[in-house]
Amino acid sequence: MQVPLFRLQCGVNSYGWGKVGSESAAARYAAATPVEGFSVESDKRYAELWMGTHPSLPSKDVETQRSLLDLVQTNKALMSTEIVSRYGGKLPFLFKILSIGKALSIQAHPNKKLAETLHARDSKNYPDDNHKPEMTIAVTPFEGLCGFRPLAEIVHFLRAVEPLRDLVGGAAAEAFEKAVSGQEASQDEAVTQKNKAALREVFTKLMQSSQEAITSATQKLTSAAESSPETFATSSASPDTNPANPDELAELVIRLNGQFPNDIGLFVLFFLNFIKLEPGEAMFLKADDIHAYISGDIVECMASSDNVVRAGFTPKFKDVSTLTSMLTYSYAPIEEQKMTPTEYPYMKMNTTAYSSGSSASLYDPPIEEFSVIKTDLKSAGAKATFEPIGGPSIIICTAGEGKISVGPAKSFDMKEGYVFFVGATAECVIESTVDGKDLTTFKAFCELADAPVNGNL
């Protein structure tokens, strides 16, 4: 029987939005357990480290060089029979490290039904028939766009940002304002759906702008951002809805235009929440939620899929009509986009004075395919014991040094960038071995609510 702990070799993708060379956490982590012939090139952009069974970039067991997919399919106990039955013998989640050096496309991920339709129609651009809800946890300070702003903020920008109003058109802007005025706080579902319909109409109008009109509007927008950053996108007529940091917004417009000149994404910015996450903060994105990543290193976990519907900030295939028709058009303040982790209850921590600051935080989105635990061990000798669960796990070390073990027979040294697979029903222990440096790990796992552990419900 396969011992339920092995170290993984994981590949890294190079895309134009990645960070350069060793600035990329994805590249550094890949180099910790390199594929033969791999070395980090100082002038190459490295974007994503993939950890899982997805066929586009499958992980391998370091010792045997067998793919993780082969290992879990030939020994179903590593996954649990329940998860194999439900998800067809492959990991239900894909775990990633993303290193974002410049904006990553305006996008959304299709729900299950739409994914099946898109895949059947265009398997080249939509390679999977699965949905892709995803969760982001910041490793370094992160910037992104997430979900539609509160409606009053969008109304403000349509009034205060002339180039944006020019693209949408005065009649469309006025129709939107009239439709949503005074209705945002309503709890009535009919009013909410009416607001979403109005938002969809005005956003679709923006996304259908001609390139000639976008180029002209961009010149006016960047000129205003450069000449008057302290009053950018503000209005004396509506001071209550002025952006809190107009100079920050002006800098962002200038920066993004430098990365993607004359791109519709510059104007989408005024419709979406600009979100900042500090290390350890997180957000969850349901299928069909619009978003974009701008900068930072993150842990990302998602349902096992590589489907992306793009419409801006990208040289790749854009599908504007699909994007505008699929979105949820949910609107909410930034605070509602963030996830709040909770203490993970199924873990034993030693409680010596030297490790009293150790912690384990659970990020548990409202789906069954994955959850993530962030563990910080504060001193040499500090230990965390993960009790057995009825599903598989992948663990990556992002800082510090230590050991990982399953029972007395199998253990490995653990260092920054090392990745491990832990099989179902295995008790796993991690231990910090170096003073003065936290041992930080992230563990992605799947555990079905009705799955047995060690054969018992």
Instruction: Give the pLDDT of residue 36.
Output: 80
Q: Is 310 an active-site residue?
A: yes
Beta bridge partner(s), residue 49: 12, 97
pLDDT-based confidence at residue 379 (cuts at 50, 70, 90) = confident
Does 118 map to a domain?
no
Mean pLDDT of 321-350: 87
Does 373 map to a domain?
yes
pLDDT-based confidence at residue 344 (cuts at 50, 70, 90) = confident
Work out the mean pLDDT of the chain and round it to a whole number. 90
% of residues, the chain, pLDDT over 90: 70
Instruction: Give the pLDDT of residue 150.
Output: 94
Residue range 32-52, pLDDT digits in tens: 998 888 899 999 999 999 999
Q: Which of 25, 2, 23, 29 lies closest to 419 in space, CA to CA?
A: 29
Segment holding 212, helix H or strand E: helix 211-227
Domain count, the chain: 1
Catalytic residue among 28, 45, 149, 310: 310
CA dist list (Å): 140 to 52, 67, 230, 356, 399: 23, 30, 28, 24, 12
List the domain range (segments joined by +) for residue 439. 342-445
Gap between the Cα atoms of 316 and 319, Å rounded: 10
For residue 287, pLDDT beyond 90 = no
Residue range 231-246, pLDDT digits in tens: 999 998 888 889 999 9
Q: Which two tokens stand for residue 93?
A: 């989640």
CATH at residue 367? 2.60.120.10
pLDDT-based confidence at residue 451 (cuts at 50, 70, 90) = low
Does 195 map to a domain?
no
Of 121-125, 158-162, 307-311, 390-394, minimum mean pLDDT range: 121-125
Does 70 map to a domain?
no
Instruction: Give the pLDDT of residue 292.
Output: 95
For residue 121, pLDDT beyond 90 = no
Q: Angle at Cα 322 formed by Cα 318 and Cα 323, nearest 5°?
A: 75
Q: What's the burial of 190, exposed, middle or buried (CB within 10 Å: 0-12/13-18/19+)? A: exposed
For residue 87, pLDDT beyond 50 = yes
Hey, how many other C-beta atoms are within 10 angstroms of the C-beta on 441?
Answer: 24
Residue range 88-113, pLDDT digits in tens: 888 999 999 999 999 999 998 887 78
Does 389 map to a domain?
yes
Residue range 165-205, pLDDT digits in tens: 999 999 999 999 999 987 766 778 899 999 999 999 999 99
pLDDT-based confidence at residue 450 (cuts at 50, 70, 90) = low
Phi and psi (nearest 5°) for 384? -130, 130
Both ends of the chain: CA-CA distance in Å?
Answer: 23
pLDDT-based confidence at residue 14 (cuts at 50, 70, 90) = very high
Residue type (1 letter), 286: K
Segment holding 163, helix H or strand E: helix 162-168
For residue 355, pLDDT beyond 50 = no
Q: What is the pTM of this model?
A: 0.91
Does 394 map to a domain?
yes
Cβ atoms of residues 55 and 404 within 8 Å: no
For residue 351, pLDDT beyond 50 = no
Does 4 map to a domain?
no
Strands in 62-132 per DSSP E: 93-100, 104-108
Instruction: Give the pLDDT of residue 337.
Output: 83
% of residues, the chain, pLDDT over 70: 93
- Residue 133 vs residue 379, higher pLDDT: 379
Counting every residue, how long is the chain?
A: 457
Q: What is the dihedral of CA 185, 188, 190, 193, to 10 degrees?
A: 40
DSSP label of 1: -
Gap between the Cα atoms of 393 and 446, Å rounded: 7
Q: DSSP 3-state assignment of 413? A: strand
Instruction: Give the pLDDT of residue 456.
Output: 34
DSSP label of 453: B
Q: DSSP 3-state assignment of 142? A: strand
Q: DSSP 3-state assignment of 189? A: helix
Q: Which two tokens stand for residue 74?
A: 């030939």
Instruction: Give the pLDDT of residue 308.
Output: 83
Does 403 map to a domain?
yes
Q: What's the burial of 106, exposed, middle or buried (CB within 10 Å: 0-12/13-18/19+)? A: buried
pLDDT-based confidence at residue 354 (cuts at 50, 70, 90) = very low
Instruction: Give the pLDDT of residue 435.
Output: 85
- Residue 367 vs residue 31, higher pLDDT: 31
